[in-house]
Chains A and B, each alone.
Chain A
Amino acid sequence: MSEFDRLLSVLFSRTGPVAAVALVLVLSLCPCAAIAQEADGPVVSDIIVPIAPPTALHVEDTPSDRGSSITLTWELSSDEETGRVLIYRVYRSADADTGFVQVGRVAVGSSTYRDGGATDGEPAFYRVTASDGEAESAFAAAGPIVSSPQWFNATRANAMVGTIVFVFAIVFFVRAAKGGKELFIRRLAGLDEIDNAVGRATEMGKPILFISGLSGISDVATIAAINILGEVAKKTAEYNTRLIVPNADPIVMAVEQEVVKEAYAKVGRPDAYNEDDVFYLTRSQFAYVAGVNGIMVRQRPATILYMGMFYAESLVLAETGASVGSIQIAGTDAVTQLPFFITSCDYTLIGEELYAASAYLSREPVLLGGLKGQDMFKFVVGVVLLIAVVSATLAALGVTASDPITPLLATG
């Protein structure tokens, strides 16, 4: 399309003052433009041809937001193709005709902008122009629009339904378990071994080392590890075996001191609890590893338990533990570290098994009930997934026009 055709297309397809101005300009300079057309030269650029403005500006209160935000969308300027547009400028005003202030700009090719500076409850007007950096096109206008905050995030409705169903599933089975229903739980080898491991340590007169991961409470895996420590501490307190718990997180240390202390108090040996055995080393990942490695080679624990969130240090710890001949049981949901624990530990709890551990060890009906609820929800996940797969397949094969299920899983 030549420059001249473009001007004509602007003329015929766009309305408003821009086109009018363009028409006047084109007509008055027509001979010159015609020459330029024939010569195929750049003379046209000497003529002040206005940039085509963006069109069809649409404004709406940003949905599912905290407020003070308006979302603008528009159709790109037809001058995008000629490379004349570099940016779009966005203006806002409380008045339809005057007082517009630039509130933002977006690069060529973007047709949407979110203005986070609106005032809730006050009508605002918007204008968007296209610009080459200096010259600016006429504007596309829209408004008035009022922004408001929302009390519900509609894009997360599916997560809410899921969470509610999940909570009900757990609570239902916990209640059922309270009623004394016998529940089957499949064997978890690593956990069965903990009893033996404590016994073995007692016989050998060697300590047990418990490492509850390198993360803090913000990782739920750490909470799971603390629950397991509670069960382990009960056993070591009974057998009067030394339990060493070095920590990388001060809050976890504070909690674990409580846990171990209570366990010793419960079996009637509060004096046997030594606070120096549940201690803080350092938050720093490999400084912590250096310290724990030292404890391993010097104390030679009979058993080492790794439970919780682990990072790269897993193999340094587990290989050092293996080299001093300890029985090692690991449990983590850190997918990247599982292969290392599997290679160098005697038993490894994989992912979700870590979360099942405290229920399994304590055999408390209430906790086992929770596990059952978890399984039921997993079943639901599987069924929903299958339905979604069938729906997607039918849509892909052209049997149905579209896939109605998968979008329901979409996250915002």
Chain B
Amino acid sequence: MRRQLPLTLCFIAGVFMAVQYFIPHWRVQDVYDRFLTWLQIIFAFAFLLGTVSLVKVHYHKIRNRAADRGFSWVVLAGLGSMIGLGFFAPGHNDPGSPFDMMFQNVQVPIEATMFSLLAFYIASAAFRAFRARTLEATLLLIAACIVMLGRVPIGDLISERIPEATRWILTVPNLAAKRGIMIGVGLGMMATALKIVLGIERAWMGGGD
């Protein structure tokens, strides 16, 4: 019972979602719409669960006097201030509210900067790993260099052929490979999904029987 019921719920939900795709009738589609909302609501409820986990980890660090516990206070302060401003200060959604200002001026710049680190890492990864060791590695390297040049104005200046070659690489060999991956991945997804729905693969509930 303890294992059968969740598996049964999983099966019913899965079969419904797979079958509704072929039934346009509003009676079915209305249920589908509603069910999608339910899934989103369950997801929203999980956020508090996640937040509890985050708080617990840092609370334990502080309690155990871990070396970096000062920074755990920073996490809790950041979290606490956003929750406070979001739930208890009015108009958290309004542009210019303290909640929004914290988001726009702390979270946004830090995340954007983290993202931009990629420019540096791409260069170091290319230098470190792009070696013409084998035929495959050489092809990867050459394709990368051509496309890199073909995407910027300087490529046009070096040779008119470069943008042409770029376009060709992107629309012929690249497209064929992408399609192959897409079809393969699609089948992998379907097989995995099917095994979940049928209860063949049950790692998600701790596996076993």
Contacts and interface: CB of A to CB of B under 8 A. Distances in A.
A/B contact in complex, CB under 8 angstroms: yes
Interface of A: 64-68, 149-153, 156, 159-160, 163, 166-167, 170-171, 174, 216, 220-221, 223-224, 226-227, 229-231, 247, 249-251, 253-255, 258-259, 261-263, 266, 275-276, 279-287, 289-290, 298, 312-313, 315-316, 318-320, 322, 333, 335, 339-340, 342-344, 350-352, 354-356, 358, 366-367, 370-371, 373-374, 377-378, 381
11 contacts: A149-B24, A166-B187, A220-B193, A221-B189, A250-B46, A259-B204, A313-B115, A315-B122, A316-B121, A333-B181, A352-B187
Contacts of A320: 121
A147 to B, nearest CB: 11
Contact of B49 (A250, A276, A285, A312): A250
B5 to A, nearest CB: 15
B130 interface: yes
B173 interface: no
A259 B181 CA distance: 29
Interface string B15-40: 00010011111110100000000000
A151 B129 CA distance: 55
A216 B47 CA distance: 12
B24 A343 contact: no
Given A229-B203, A335-B178, A358-B203, A381 B192 contact: no
A167 B200 CA distance: 13
Contacts of B203: 226-227, 229-231, 259, 358
A170 B25 CA distance: 29
A344 B46 contact: no
A259 B206 contact: yes
A282 B57 CA distance: 13
Q: Which 6 A-B pairs have the closest CB atoms?
A: A355-B188, A262-B206, A250-B50, A280-B50, A230-B203, A352-B184
B23 A151 contact: yes
A404 to B, nearest CB: 22
A150 B192 contact: no
Nearest to B194: A170
B125 A315 contact: yes
Contacts of A149: 24-27
Interface stretch (B83-91, B92-100, B106-114, B155-163): B106-114
Contact of A276 (B22, B56, B124, B191): B56
A224 B107 contact: no
Contact of A373 (B117, B178, B191): B191
A353 to B, nearest CB: 8
Given A170-B191, A230-B207, A253 B53 contact: yes
Contacts, number: 208
Nearest to A63: B24
A64 to B, nearest CB: 5
Nearest to A171: B198
B47 A68 contact: no
Contact of A335 (B23, B125, B181, B192): B181
Nearest to B56: A276
Given A149-B25, A220-B193, A279 B54 contact: yes
Given A262-B208, A315-B118, A284 B57 contact: no
Contacts of B22: 152-153, 156, 159-160
A352 B188 contact: yes
Contacts of B205: 255, 258
B114 A286 contact: yes
B125 A340 contact: yes
A287 B111 contact: yes
B140 A339 contact: yes
B121 A319 contact: yes
A313 B118 CA distance: 8
A223 B202 CA distance: 10
A333 B187 contact: no
A262 B181 contact: no
Contact of A316 (B27, B117, B189, B194): B117
A322 B126 CA distance: 13
B54 A150 contact: no
A153 B43 CA distance: 30
A150 B25 contact: yes
A68 B29 CA distance: 13
Nearest to A167: B194
A298 to B, nearest CB: 8
B208 A266 contact: yes
Nearest to B111: A286
A342 B137 CA distance: 10
B8 interface: no
Contacts of B112: 286
A287 B191 contact: no
B140 A355 contact: no
Contacts of A350: 181
Given A251-B42, A258-B205, A370-B191, 18 more contacts: A156-B21, A159-B21, A170-B191, A170-B194, A174-B200, A230-B207, A250-B51, A253-B50, A255-B204, A262-B208, A280-B51, A284-B111, A315-B121, A343-B126, A350-B181, A351-B181, A355-B192, A378-B187
B195 interface: yes
A67 B28 CA distance: 11
A149 B204 CA distance: 38
